[in-house]
Amino acid sequence: MTSYFDCNSTTPVEPAVAGLVRRYLEEEFGNSGSRTHEFGSRAKAAVAKARGQVAGLVDSDPSEVVFTSGATESNNIAILGLENILEAQGRTHVLTTAVEHKAVLEPLERLAERGFEIEHVTPDQEGRISANDFAERLRPETGLVSSMHVNNETGVIHPIQEIADVLEGHQTFFHVDAAQGFGKISGLESSRIDLISISGHKVYAPKGVGALITRRRGMERVPLTPIMVGGGQERGVRPGTVPVHLVVGLGEAARIATKEGARRADRCSEIRSKLLEAFDGFEFSVNGAPDQVIVSTLNISLHGVDAEAAIVCLKGVVAVSNGAACTSSSYSTSHVLQAMGLPEDRIRGSLRWSWSHLTEDPPVAEIKKALAVLGI
């Protein structure tokens, strides 16, 4: 059976989460907006509990959690939802990084088309982002700073707390795309982070659910203009019937992550060590600072090998990726590795391996045998 090593694309659903989702699909199927009967009341209570579980992972108040369909929608609400207020205030300079997910870069392109100035901080050759680069580029008219928590291709962890420290005393809003880091590592607790995007299917919950955490500044909520209308759900920020079964699944996933985080990290670290054994005897480079990556991601380039050819040889042995899943249907050179300034042959040969605590030990001998066919 093929071993799954593409968890940055999507994770398996935690068994306890799947059981709870099934219960709220088949038994507790009430609408949390129905106030006239017990089915609705129980659904509403379940959503409130999940809101608290998600908030608890990042030291936020439950009232600051807005449920969405995932991090892509959350990113769009956070970025495009600030357009009106920032334009009215004349704060149309935006700072972000050159290695963001397309779910951040493309909404920012929309703002650029409407007259905003988007400035990209570039990483070093190991993918590290410097908080000092944000400090040097910060202006009085900077209205938004957006940085991911963990890079989806290299696993490099961004210095979120250091960036938050740089922004102390500045009026700019700080948004973090935490799709790859939420529930896996800390670093999102700072009250200086105004907006946090998360996605359920990156943290062992189902696809189709996520959240946008909108922290208050004192008593003031982040002044977001909804990008959809049609109801007052989720405090008017995200209209539509709340998918209770998915929301409780995300809440349960957050609860388990709080309890099992250390054990999961140890297991992922163990898998990483075993996986590296599969490349003994081959020439390869690791893409991403080894001392600053999440333990469940490894991006490598096999010297003299095209990633597409390697994936063909590995078919039936392991499922791996050569980039972000959002662009895999029409493969193009990784903008992340390009921004790091890596040579073209190394970019073309890059493979992203990502796993979870639910992943079985890598089939080291089978991987070696498959790669040997390439003559490296």
Q: What residue segments make up the domains of the chain, in order of their start?
A: 3-10+261-372, 15-255
pLDDT tens string, the chain, 376 residues long: the values are 899 999 999 999 999 999 999 999 999 998 888 888 988 889 999 999 999 999 999 999 999 999 999 999 999 999 999 999 999 999 999 999 999 999 999 999 999 999 999 999 999 999 999 999 999 999 999 999 999 999 999 999 999 999 999 999 999 999 999 999 999 999 999 999 999 999 999 999 999 999 999 999 988 899 999 988 887 788 878 989 899 999 999 999 999 999 999 999 999 999 999 999 999 999 999 999 999 999 999 999 999 999 999 999 999 999 999 865 554 455 578 999 999 999 999 999 999 999 999 999 999 999 999 998 886 6
Cα dihedral 234, 236, 237, 243 sign: positive
Q: What is the largest CA-CA distance in the chain?
A: 69
Partners of 6 in the beta sheet? 354
The pLDDT score that the predictor gives to residue 187 is 96
Distance CA 198, CA 215 (A): 14
Count CB atoms within 10 A of the CB of residue 79: 29
The pLDDT score that the predictor gives to residue 326 is 53
Beta strands 93-97 and 142-148 are parallel
For domain 3-10+261-372, give the fold. Aspartate Aminotransferase, domain 1 (3.90.1150)
The pLDDT score that the predictor gives to residue 324 is 57
For 138, counting Cβ atoms within 10 Å of its Cβ (0-12 exposed, 13-18 middle, 19+ buried), the class is middle
The pLDDT score that the predictor gives to residue 174 is 98
Partners of 96 in the beta sheet? 120
Q: Which residue among the candidates 7, 268, 313, 326 is catalytic per the annotation?
A: 326
pTM of the full predicted structure?
0.95
Partners of 286 in the beta sheet? 300
Choose among 175, 180, 159, 194: nearest CA to 291: 159
Do residues 41 and 35 touch, judged by C-beta distance below 8 A? yes
DSSP annotation of 61 reads -
CATH class of 15-255: alpha beta
Choose among 206, 241, 301, 218: nearest CA to 31: 241
Beta strands 284-286 and 297-302 are antiparallel
- The torsion angles phi and psi of 119, rounded to 5 degrees, stand at -115, 130
Q: Is 326 a catalytic residue?
A: yes
Choose among 180, 200, 175: nearest CA to 83: 175
